[in-house]
Amino acid sequence: MTWHEQMRKWVGEGQWKALANLLNGLSNTDFRRAEKELKTEVLPALAAPAFWTAWQQLVAYSPQAFLSGILAAKTLMERGEWDTACPQAQAAAQALTQPQCVKVLRMLLPLMTQVDGAQAVFSLFPLDDEREQLAVLLRTPTDVSAFLTFQLLSQMPDGRTLAARTAQWLARQTTDHATSHTTSYATGRATPHATPQTADCTTDRAANLCAILCAAFSLTPPAGSGVWLKIEPYELDKLHTYAYFRHVLDGKKPKV
């Protein structure tokens, strides 16, 4: 039996100590092969409860190597087997540190196409600091994350102040394309500048989200924000519904 076959056998049987011993005995080259195989083939093939248990054990063995194994979630979602409510998911999440939760959220949120799915992920991997949650959302250029950003700011005691800082940060995304990093106004930490994949968020959508925040919190649009979208007072309550929020974020306001 090859080490590949033995590795899969130990995972299937839940023999985690034996798996750790096997991985410890591999050369650096073979360990990298095992890491890739576990993350791209073995984990995605498991059903939800077994996936969560295997991922928890692998992260415990080597967080650096296997935390990103959470990306196997995409395959489980495609099969309709993604489950954040099972006890195994709760156990896996509770074993993580706060910094690890942040990393997992940054990997999972781009996969979330529904608000309730993103909310379930935040419930599974809760962050103690709402400003950290805000920073994670702002770094995820999706409609769902933009909506949750708006919802979070609306619920925070200092939401208006943070909305003003967020609007300034969004304004910089629409104008600052020369530097490789900007500073998050939510946390004061360095935030990587937009990649080509996030260009949509850092131009029109960033300007539209900025417009939404300025209208909802009675803010003056930051200089150079590119805000042109006008939001009428009667629309403000409707922004709390995801469908209407998306229309505004797209710059396409439907007939009332």
Is the domain of 83 the same as that of 139? no
Strand pairing of 190-192 and 181-183? antiparallel
Is the domain of 106 the same as that of 146? no
Per-residue burial over 144-174, b if 16 or more Cβ lie within 10 Å, else e, is: bbbbbbbbbbeebeebbebbbbbbbbbbbbb
Is the domain of 123 the same as that of 134? no
Is the domain of 25 the same as that of 102? yes
Quick check: helix, strand or coil at residue 1? coil
- pTM of the full predicted structure? 0.85
Is the domain of 113 the same as that of 138? no
pLDDT band, residue 14 (cuts 50/70/90): very high
Taking the C-alpha atoms of residue 172 and residue 79, their distance in angstroms, rounded to an integer, is 39
Last residue of a domain, one of 86, 109, 128: 128
Is the domain of 12 the same as that of 112? yes
Is the domain of 104 the same as that of 46? yes
Q: Which of 27-36, 99-108, 218-227 has the lowest mean pLDDT?
A: 218-227
Number of domains in the chain: 2
pLDDT at position 226 = 65
Domain range holding 205?
130-256
Last residue of a domain, one of 128, 159, 175: 128
pLDDT at position 196 = 39
